[in-house]
């Protein structure tokens, strides 16, 4: 039987993180209409609250020459994942498009992914390691304990350094958000920072 209450473990939260822009890339995970728009099929109610924060971060990243990489959940009809979540982010539909407020600009990179993990079946690792030569990933987006966490974990297993701003990610519940942050901190040794505004690009 599960306990009625549990003691939450400590999470290390950094007030400020300084990153060399020559080593960094920003990953925006699945900020698509089906997840981040109220009419989306799998709408995450807290996702819209992160949009302005993510926008500020990517604007500063572009100024400092930091690549911005979007992941886009992208499913064909009859995808087996629909047995879990129902139909969502179908290739070429409105629901699969990135929300208007965060539309990629020329020079940004969009990775269409098949599952939760943005490295699974994509060219992401090759782009980061061989083409862009970036080893510090600032990961934002939704859903915190699903696609954000799987992408962060997969990055950590490839020895990328991970930075996750709390106000740049969203989950369906506060428990899910906390669980994701706990895993990033405890298991993947990522740096959790309170706000996107406390990430500083300095050489």
CA-closest candidate to residue 62, choices 128, 108, 109, 29: 108
Residue in 117, 147, 167, 185 annotated catalytic: 147
Residue in 46, 113, 117, 167 annotated catalytic: 113
CA-closest candidate to residue 109, choices 21, 24, 196, 25: 25
Tokens found for residue 129: 């390691």
CA angle, 55 then 120 then 177, to 5°: 50
- 113 catalytic, yes or no? yes
- 77 catalytic, yes or no? no
CA-closest candidate to residue 185, choices 170, 154, 163: 163
Sign of CA dihedral 160, 164, 170, 172: positive
- 30 catalytic, yes or no? yes
For 46-69, letters b (16+ CB in 10 Å) and e give: bbbebbebbebbbebbeeeebbbb
Which H or E element spans position 17?
Answer: strand 17-19
Residues taking part in catalysis: 30, 113, 147
């Amino acid at each position: 039987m599960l306990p009625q209450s549990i003691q939450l473990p400590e999470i290390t939260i950094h007030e400020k993180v300084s990153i060399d822009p020559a080593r960094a890339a920003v990953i925006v995970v699945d900020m698509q209409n089906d997840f981040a728009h109220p009419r989306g099929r799998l709408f995450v109610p807290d996702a819209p609250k992160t949009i302005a924060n993510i926008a500020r971060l990517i604007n500063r990243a572009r100024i400092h020459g930091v690549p911005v990489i979007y992941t886009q959940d992208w499913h064909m009809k009859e995808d087996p994942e629909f047995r879990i979540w129902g139909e969502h982010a179908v290739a070429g539909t409105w629901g699969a498009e990135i929300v208007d407020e965060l539309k990629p600009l020329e020079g940004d990179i969009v990775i269409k992914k098949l599952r939760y993990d943005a490295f699974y079946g994509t060219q992401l690792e090759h782009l980061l390691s061989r083409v862009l030569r970036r080893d510090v990933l600032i990961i934002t987006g939704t859903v915190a304990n699903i696609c954000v966490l799987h992408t962060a974990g997969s990055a950590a297993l490839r020895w990328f350094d991970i930075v996750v701003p709390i106000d740049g990610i969203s989950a369906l519940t506060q428990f899910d958000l906390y669980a994701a942050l706990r895993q990033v901190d405890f298991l993947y040794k990522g740096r959790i920072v309170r706000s996107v505004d406390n990430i500083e690009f300095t050489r």
